[in-house]
Each structure stands twice: as structure tokens, then as C-alpha cells.
Structure 1
Amino acid sequence: MRPLTASTLRGVWATALLPIRDDETIDFDRLATALDRVLASGVHGVYTNGTAGEFHTLTDAEYDRLHELVAQRCAAAGVPFQLGAGHPSGQLSLQRIARAAALRPSAIQVVLPDWLPLGPDEVLAAVARMAEVADGVPLVLYNPPCAKTQVPPELHGRLAAEVPALIGVKVPGGDDDWYRRMADAVGGRLAIFVAGHTLASGYARGAAGAYSNVACLSPSGAARWYAQITTDLAAALAFERRLRGFLDTRIAPLARAGYSDPALDKALGAIGGWAPIGTRVRWPHRWVPEERIPALRAAAREAVPELFCGLTPAEHGSW
């Protein structure tokens, strides 16, 4: 697959959510079905092993099987893919980066070692070593709010200057001042990716795309929204306000009740009903009970019906 650059890394990317059986194993048959539906949806790419992909729970055998499946299906469909090689251990991250690089993805997503916070020089050393092991495959640094080491805009600028293999970052975003600092520090050398539900307002201030929780709700709907963002930003911002209203009133209470981010993203997938993923997440985390999904689905379809109309043929069906 052709390597991405900071200028070509754009758009809405959908994660590979893991269908989990009652015995805690991954149902790879259901995963393949979901992946095929994502590939037919019009999203700009597929990625693995973000927080929603429960990367921290995978054995090496599961990691390799997942990536072989994603690489094969995406290559056959001509859809760019990024492989997540993060691990809380930096040493195990290097091993996973090397195995991901052998599949020649469009990019490899990495996280910083996570048991102890890192100082700025340690952040630079970590990413530089990861880039060496990636063997010419570009890197994207995944730095979500739950990361123990939070990278400020100025340090992103140092990374962009000193590690040319780094082409993008996944970050929480921020206010106008944060975007100004980021633009000044990065100078266009990194593609800035933000949370999916903030994509319109982020795009207006310089974001390039999203590793998208909205694609968990509806991959094709998220792709249509991005098209609207690039052609009718005012309408896309109005949609974002309604979307965030639904998330604030219906999903945020689940977060406050203690459900983890993977559990929330799988609940979004169940609300969308576009693939047989289910809501179960791996031990020791709780998952949103299936019986709560119908009411949440009704609320989503009332708040943001555009996400669910005009589904691709592959997305029709009842799960």
C-alpha cells in the first residue's frame, strides 16, 4: 500500500471494532463481515488498535491474525490502512512495529510507553526509535486524553522537526489558542486528527481528519458528513451541534457511570446496527447492556437522521 504523507493523510478513518464472544475470544468471522461493510462505506481508510480496538488486550497471536486480515481485505479493496502497533511496554511496541511494518501499511500508529510519564527528551527518543524500527513506513502518534504523557503543541513541533517519519497525530484538540499554537509549532509538517464528533469545528481550525467515533455509529454517514464539511461547512457545523447534543445527553451519562471508551464506541456501533459486532468488551471492563440499545438508537435517529439515511447496500440488515 502506498505510504501516506502529512499532506495526503486526510478524511474519516474507521476503526476495526472487535466482536468478542462470551468466552473472551475474538470472533474473526464477524470481524471480517464488519470490515467488509466498512470497506464498502466510503470512508477514507481503516485503522486498527486504537483505544476502541482494545489494543491493550491483544495477545501476539491475535495481533498478527487481526493485521493479516485487515491488510488482505484492505489491499484487495484498494482502501488505505493503518496498523496500530501500540503497547504500554515500549519494548513490546518495537516488536509490534516491526511485525506491522512487514505488511507495508499506509502508516503505523504508535503510542508512547505508558507506565511512567515521559519527559520531552524521552518522548523524542521514543518516537525516533520507533521510526527506525518502522523501516520506512510512516508513523502516526496516537496521543488521546487517557495517555499518561500528554504532548503539547510545542513538543509536537519538535517531533515534526526531528523525526521526519512522523506524519500525523491523533489528539484531543482544543480551543482557538491551542490550534494557533499547534499551527505555529507544526507548520504543516503533521496531519492533525481530532475526535470524530468534533471534526467540523476542528476542520474549520486546521484539522485534517478524524479517527472517528462517528464512523462507529455509521461509516457511510461519517463519510457523507466529511464530504459536507469540505463543501458546506456551515451546514456541517450545524450537524455537529446536534450530534454533540445527542452524545452529551445519551452517551456522556454512560461515561460518567464508569463505562470505558471501548464500551462506549461499541455501544455506538450497536446503535448504528450496521454490522454484527455486539457491545461486549474484554475483561475486566463492563459493557453497555444490549437492552439499552433500542432506546439509544431511537434517540440517535431522531437527533441526527442524516447519519442513517442512504445506507450502502452492505449496511442494510438487522443485527
Structure 2
Amino acid sequence: MTCLRGGNYTDFIIYKDEMTNYSPTRHQQQQDINSNKNSKINCFYKTKMASNNEIRIVLVGKTGAGKTTTMYKLLGKENPEAGFKSASSRTTECKIETVEKDGYRLVVVDTPGVDNTKLTEAAVKKEIVKCMTYAAPGPHVILYVLKAKHFTTEDCTAIEIIQKMFGGKESKNYTMALFTRGDDPEISIMEDKHMKAFCDQYYSFVSNGDVSELLNKIKDMVKENQFYTNDMFKKAQEVLEQEIKKKEVKGMTPKIATDDLARAVDVLLALTIGEPWKSVVDDVVNIVSKKVEQCATQ
């Protein structure tokens, strides 16, 4: 499962052309995560345009799969929630962190479990918008984090939701399955028709030492495919650029900070009544609603 397919460059060519005009800005504000629990956006700054040494990674998967642990492994940081196994320690909102590593700027977006049936329709809508905004103009890699040795119906549902969010065939070349149990997945998992339609590649985490190898695989994917985008990511990028222009008019430094991200999310939430957002949100909400009904009858 190591083949890399070529991506479609048409969607993001306008971003690729503009990115070459900007050098990366290496300014990152550090802050204790515990003092910023309410915002869930930890000291995030984006340059005027995404630089060509930036790698944007979106972590998706079921609740408890190890997405947050994976995020901090990738960042090389200590997980402040390590050791807490209560339901309250689960990720319920999108959060974003960045780090400069080996000449690259990693932008990692952690998302709530796609099987979280406790989120309201409004919450589901907001988290979808936040994910698109944080990863704009689009993720280089979508990491589907899982630890099951057997493919289950819950995995099928999770994949269905993720495909609704990011697109099915279009996002396949940018998706990798990441197994966090530490041993290789059974062949039957990667041969499952749902998984085969979802992604071609997988990686198995054994220890912290595997982070470099995983990042190398991700870099190979980036070289082959650049990054994935769609109409929603493009709209999110457009709104972010509008926030930057407002700062330039005021003579401020053209960077995207936490308050700008929050404003962009609010603007985009107001647009979800129309396409393309409405169809995606409605589809995801319907899938989650069916899951809630199934849980209620069991």
C-alpha cells in the first residue's frame, strides 16, 4: 500500500502561483495550553499566504482513536491531557497548533470524533466550518486515526462522514490511515471495499521514534500531490484574506491570529445557509442523527 497517485492540480493552481511570492514568517507565540482552554485555538498565526514549506495536517477519526495524542507526537510537544481518560478529556471542538520542525512549518488540526452523537446540529455545523477555516486553503494530508484491528460498521459510518466533509474520490489521494495500536493492521482492513475507496496508504505507530518516518511519508505525499482543496476551503481562504486586507488598511501586520480565525468562522457560519456548505452540513447531520437513533434503540 505504498503507491502514491498524482493529484489534480487544477483546483489549487491559483494558490500555488501566489505562494511563491511570499517567504515564510517564522513568528510563533508560545502560550500555556491550560490558560487557553476556552478558545481551543492555541497561539496560532498564519502568514499572509500559506508558504511553500508549510504542511497542513487534519486529524480525523472516531472518539478515543488517539487523534490528540497523535497531534502532540507530530508537534514534538507534551500532551497536557495525557493520563486523563474521562469523557471530559475527549476533544469536543476543533483545535489547532503549529511548530517549526526540520525546515517545515507544521500546522496540525485536531477534530472531534466523527461518531460523537452528543453534538447538536449547530455544533456539528460550527466544527465543520472551523475545520475548513483552520486548514485553509486546504490540507496536505488528511490522517484518519484508528486503532481497531477489525473494520467495523462504526468505521464505515466514520468514513462516510469524513467523505461527506472532504469529498470522496477527490480527497482519496490526500488521505492516509494511521493505526495507533502499534502493530500492523490485518490485511482484511485495508482490503475492505470502504477503506479501499477511502485511501491507498496507511502507517502504523509503534513509538515516538516513528514520528520522523511518518513525517517523511507525509512529505512524500506532499511532493506528489501538493494539497487538497474544494469550494469550501477556497471560500474559507477568501474570508481569511479579507481579514488580512482589513489589517493592511489599518496599517497592522498582515498575519492571521486567533481573533481573526474566530471572526472568519462567524462569517462562514452565516454562509452555511447556502451552497456548497448547506449540502455538506445537512448530509453530516443526517448521518449523525441516524447514528443517534440507532444508539437509542439498542
TM-score normalised according to structure 2 size? 0.34
Which structure ranks higher in relative contact order (CA pairs < 8 Å, sequence separation ≥ 6)? Answer: 2
TM-score normalised according to structure 1 size? 0.33
